[in-house]
Amino acid sequence: MNIATSIAKALRHWLRLGHSIIRCRLGQFVFFILMCFGAASAKTQGEEVSPAYTRMKGYLDTIPIIDTHCHIRPFDTLLGFVETDRGRGMTLPSLWRNSYYPWINPLTPWEPGGRFEDWWTKGKKDFQNARATSFYRYLLPAFKDLYGVDFNHITDEQASALNARIFQNYESSQWMHNVITQRANIELMLIDPFWARLDFKTDYPFAALVFNVTSLGKGFHPSEFFNPLDNPYRFAKEEGLEIRSIDDYVTVVDRLFQKAKAAGAVCLKTTLAYERTLRFENIPKERANKAFGRSRKAVTNEEVKDFEDFIMWRLVELSAKYELPFQIHTGQARIQGSNPMLLVDLIEANPKTKFILFHGGFPWIAETGVIAMRHGSHVWVDSVWLPTLSFSAAKRAFHEWLEVMPSTRIVWGDDEHHAEGIYGSTETMRRCLAEVLSEKVERGNLDEENAKRIGRQILRDNALELFPQLQSRLWKKDK
C-alpha cells in the first residue's frame, strides 16, 4: 500500500466520523491521521504474501505431484522406531533425529526406554541456534499443518501432546498413506531402496522402483559386498552365471539391468559423490582389469578408481540401452569432487543417455544450469532436496535456471524418510516455487497462465515425460 492510498483511507474514515472530528484541535487531527497511516502501514508490512503468490500457491497445491526421489523404507523398518516408556514407537525426537536437522545442528540423544518429558527438558534447548536454518524450517509446516502446532513457540504441554500424537499416528501405516497421497498431494514417487539395492521390490502402492547402481563399481572382488541384497556375485550365483573375468562381470551387470527393468524400475541412481570424485575417465578394459579378482588389500587406490571408472561408463551405456534415465548425485557430498562440471566429459560422450543432475549441483547451481543449457537434449536438473538445503539458494536457482533452459528440463523430489519430512519438504518446495513464479509475474517476465504451466511442468508433467512408464500408473483425478 502506498502513502497516497493510506492517507486517502484515513481521510475517508475521518469524514465518516463527522463533526466530532472537525471539532478536534489541529494537533489531535494530525495525530489521528498519522495513527491511521501507521496502522495501514503495519497491516501492509504484516502481510506475508502478495495476491499473485496466493493465487500461484493455491494452484500449485492442486497439482498431484510426481515425486522423483524418496527414501521411505517398508513401514515396519522405518528409521526412528525406538523403545520408550510406552513401548516401541515413533517419537518427536525420532522425527528430528531422522530428518536433515542433525546434519548441522546438535540434538540430544534419546535414552532407550525413556520418557519424552525427560528428553524434552534438555532437548528443547537444542533448537535455539537453529531457527534460521533450512534444515530446521522445512519441518515447521508439517507440525503446523498436520498437528496444528507452532513449533517455534511450542510449550512443554504442547510438546508432550505432539509427541503422543506422533506415537499414535505411527501405530498404523495408514498415516503414511494419508499424509503422502492426500495431505501432500503426491500421486507417485520414485523410491530409492539403498538398503536393498538389488532386491527390486516396492512396498507402497504409490511407489515406483529406482535401480540403485552405486555399489556395482565395487565389483572387482566379492569381498567388497557385505549386504546380500547389494551383492552382484550373489545375484550371479542365483542366476547360474559365473564371474571369472571382467567381461563376465559386465554380462552380470547387463542381466541385472534386465531384471530391474522387468521389475518396473524407471531409472538408475548413484550416490558415488559421497565416496569419490565425479570425474570418470574412459578407462580401457586392460587398465580396469588390473583390479579384477584381487582384494582391496592387494590393489592400489588408482587401480580401484580405474575399475570404477570403467564400470561407470558401462552403466551409462546400459542406461541408454535399456532406456533408464540416470540420476546422479551432484554437489553437497565430498565437496572436493562433487561439482557437476566433472561429469561434462561423460555427458558429452554419451548423448543417448538421459542424465539427471541431482540437487541442482548445490552449491554449484549456476554450473548445473550451464550444463543443462549446453546439453539440453539429454540433461535434466532435479531440484530434489534443494529447497531443504537452502530456501534462498533454491529460489535463486529456479530464477536462474528458467532463464537459461527450457522449463521442460526441471523436476523435483522430496528425498525424505517419514511422512512429516515428506510433507514439510513438499510444502517448502511449493512455497519456494510459488514465490519464484509470482515474482516473475509481478516483474512482468511471465504472464500468470504461463507461470502456472511452468509450475505444473516442474511438479508433474516433466517427470511423466522423462519416465513414461508412470503414465499407466496414474490414479488421481487430475484437474
- Please determine, for residue 35, whether its predicted confidence score (pLDDT) is greater than 50: no
Same domain, yes or no, for 395 and 346? yes
Q: Which three cell numbers stand for residue 84?
A: 520408550
Q: Which three cell numbers stand for residue 234?
A: 550373489
pLDDT of residue 479: 63
Same domain, yes or no, for 188 and 149? no
Domain annotation covers residue 55: no
Nearest by Cα to 266 from 67, 467, 410: 467
Question: By percentage, how much of the chain surpasses pLDDT 70?
Answer: 90
> Taking every pair of C-alpha atoms in the chain, what is the biggest distance, in angstroms?
103
pLDDT of 263-309, one tens digit each? 999 999 999 999 999 999 999 999 999 999 999 999 999 999 999 99
pLDDT of 421-435, one tens digit each? 999 999 999 999 999
Average pLDDT over residues 17-36: 36
Domain final residue, candidates 108, 134, 169:
169
Same domain, yes or no, for 128 and 197? no
Q: 219 is in which domain, residue-wise?
A: 174-473
Report yes or no on whether pTM surpasses 0.95. no
- Please determine, for residue 154, whether its predicted confidence score (pLDDT) is greater than 80: yes
Q: Which DSSP string do the residues of 44-88 spell out, in sequence order? A: HHH----HHHHHHHHHHHTS-EEEEEE-PPPGGG-TT-EEETTEE
Average pLDDT over residues 39-68: 78
Q: pLDDT band at residue 478, thresholds of 50, 70 and 90? A: confident
CB atoms inside a 10 Å sphere around CB 391: 19
Nearest by Cα to 215 from 276, 281, 295: 276
Same domain, yes or no, for 158 and 189? no
Same domain, yes or no, for 347 and 451? yes
* More confidently predicted of 317 and 8: 317
Same domain, yes or no, for 281 and 353? yes
Domain annotation covers residue 56: no
Beta bridge partners, 186, equal 65
- Please determine, for residue 393, whether its predicted confidence score (pLDDT) is greater than 80: yes
Q: pLDDT band at residue 12, thresholds of 50, 70 and 90? A: very low
Domain annotation covers residue 71: no
- Please determine, for residue 26, whether its predicted confidence score (pLDDT) is greater than 60: no
- Please determine, for residue 172, whether its predicted confidence score (pLDDT) is greater than 80: yes
Nearest by Cα to 74 from 201, 246, 234: 201
Domain annotation covers residue 317: yes
Domain annotation covers residue 53: no
Same domain, yes or no, for 33 and 87? no
Check: CB of residue 219 under 8 Å from CB of residue 277: no
Same domain, yes or no, for 293 and 422? yes
Domain annotation covers residue 61: no
Same domain, yes or no, for 278 and 132? no
Same domain, yes or no, for 180 and 132? no
d(CA 406, CA 90) in angstroms, rounded, equals: 43
Is the four-CA dihedral 350, 352, 353, 356 of positive or negative sign? positive
CATH number of the domain where residue 393 is located: 3.20.20.140
Q: pLDDT band at residue 438, thresholds of 50, 70 and 90? A: very high
pLDDT of residue 40: 35
Check: CB of residue 215 under 8 Å from CB of residue 271: no
Q: What is the mean pLDDT of the chain?
A: 92
- Please determine, for residue 444, whether its predicted confidence score (pLDDT) is greater than 50: yes
pLDDT of residue 252: 98
SS3 state at 355: strand
Same domain, yes or no, for 307 and 449? yes
Q: pLDDT band at residue 48, thresholds of 50, 70 and 90? A: low
- Please determine, for residue 8, whether its predicted confidence score (pLDDT) is greater than 60: no
- Please determine, for residue 23, whether its predicted confidence score (pLDDT) is greater than 90: no
How many independent structural domains does the chain possess? 3
Same domain, yes or no, for 133 and 180? no
- Please determine, for residue 5, whether its predicted confidence score (pLDDT) is greater than 70: no
pLDDT of residue 143: 98
- Please determine, for residue 44, whether its predicted confidence score (pLDDT) is greater than 50: no
Domain annotation covers residue 58: no
Domain annotation covers residue 64: no
d(CA 34, CA 29) in angstroms, rounded, equals: 9
- Please determine, for residue 446, whether its predicted confidence score (pLDDT) is greater than 50: yes
